[in-house]
Amino acid sequence: MIAPRLRRRVGSAIMTTLVVALCLLAVLPLLFILGDLTVKGASSIDWNFFTKSPVPAGQTGGGVANAIVGTGIIVGLACLFGLPIGIGAGVFLAEYGSGRLGWLVRFVADVLNGTPSIVMGIFVWGWFVKPLGHFSALAGGLALAALMIPMVARTTEEMVRLVPHSLREAALALGYPRWRTSLRVVVRTALAGIVTGGLVAVARIAGETAPLLFTALGNLNFSTNILQPMQTLSLQIYVYATGPFDEWHRLAWAAALVLMALVLGLAVLARWATRQRDGTG
């Protein structure tokens, strides 16, 4: 009588310990990556790093000013195209999405969310870069926008759905037409959440490299012309990391630290903004 019960207890205790151990093991890589980046990258970060453009291979010094500005411009372009479409589609899904079209759009958004980003890159190359005849920051922005739209659409839908029905009913009962109710009551109430969804999407596309390889291409010089190739931090890390020079590797660690700070900063900001909403744990 006692033996099987003891065995069950011991078995359960072992499995519980195993689950805890697996969880710890899963968290470990993040700690290592953050640690390595800080140890190897922090020492190379100084004023020049942020204000200078790269120097020719073989020389020491130089910075990633061009890549930092380029990341900002390309992500900005992506937001310009991606946010209106993504948010509009999300509001559609929340307001009119109960029918068959809603199901289709929701399904396609989820499927597109899992599309390899490199495929977006070659798609934009064939559809935009090739007809125009040259690489450009604009093409990079379009590729990132295509990645961003499904993400933003789904988070916007979720946030708009969280708005209590009574608010909408109150506005309709006061004689507001549906569109004004939707824009001025429902969407406005959900605005903080929608902004958060945008931040999460920006955090993800800011670190993307693959879709930019054949669109923005990269540029070792400082450039703000969106019709010309442009550098981003992610492209710079790729080139420096796979290059042969120690000096490049040193700069790559520093650039990776800056990119991580940017991306994780945005993620933390987004989480902080929704801290009250997440009741699930």
Q: Taking CB under 8 A as the criterion, which residues in 209-228 touch another protein?
A: 209-210, 213-214
CB of 227 to another protein, least distance (A): 19
Exactly one of 67, 78, 146, 186 binds another protein (CB under 8 A); that residue is 146
> What three-state secondary structure class fits 154?
helix
68 forms part of the interface with another protein (CB under 8 A)? no
Count of C-beta atoms within a 10 Å radius of residue 118: 15
CB of 252 to another protein, least distance (A): 6
* Range 235-264, binding another protein (CB under 8 A): 237-238, 241-242, 249, 252-253, 256, 259-260, 263-264
Quote the tokens at residue 161: 């759905």
* Kind plus residue range of the DSSP H or E element containing 93: helix 65-96
198 forms part of the interface with another protein (CB under 8 A)? no
32 forms part of the interface with another protein (CB under 8 A)? yes
230 forms part of the interface with another protein (CB under 8 A)? no
137 forms part of the interface with another protein (CB under 8 A)? no
The residue among 65 and 122 lying less far from another protein, judged by its C-beta, is 122
64 forms part of the interface with another protein (CB under 8 A)? no
186 vs 88, 92, 103, 153, CA distance in Å? 13, 12, 21, 16
CB of 265 to another protein, least distance (A): 10
CB of 26 to another protein, least distance (A): 4
51 forms part of the interface with another protein (CB under 8 A)? no
42 forms part of the interface with another protein (CB under 8 A)? no
Quote the tokens at residue 111: 């499927």
> What three-state secondary structure class fits 134?
coil
188 forms part of the interface with another protein (CB under 8 A)? no
Exactly one of 6, 42, 57, 104 binds another protein (CB under 8 A); that residue is 104
Torsion angle in degrees (nearest 10) through CA of 209, 212, 217, 219? -60
80 forms part of the interface with another protein (CB under 8 A)? no
The residue among 69 and 264 lying less far from another protein, judged by its C-beta, is 264
Q: Cβ-count burial of 23 within 10 angstroms (0-12 exposed, 13-18 middle, 19+ buried)?
A: exposed
> Which range touches another protein (CB under 8 A), out of 4-12, 43-51, 54-62, 220-228?
4-12
Count of C-beta atoms within a 10 Å radius of residue 146: 24
Query: Any residues with CB less than 8 A from the CB of 71 and at least 6 apart, and which?
Result: 206, 232, 233, 234, 259, 262
The residue among 47 and 250 lying less far from another protein, judged by its C-beta, is 250
> What three-state secondary structure class fits 219?
coil
79 forms part of the interface with another protein (CB under 8 A)? no
> What three-state secondary structure class fits 164?
coil
Count of C-beta atoms within a 10 Å radius of residue 68: 21
96 forms part of the interface with another protein (CB under 8 A)? yes
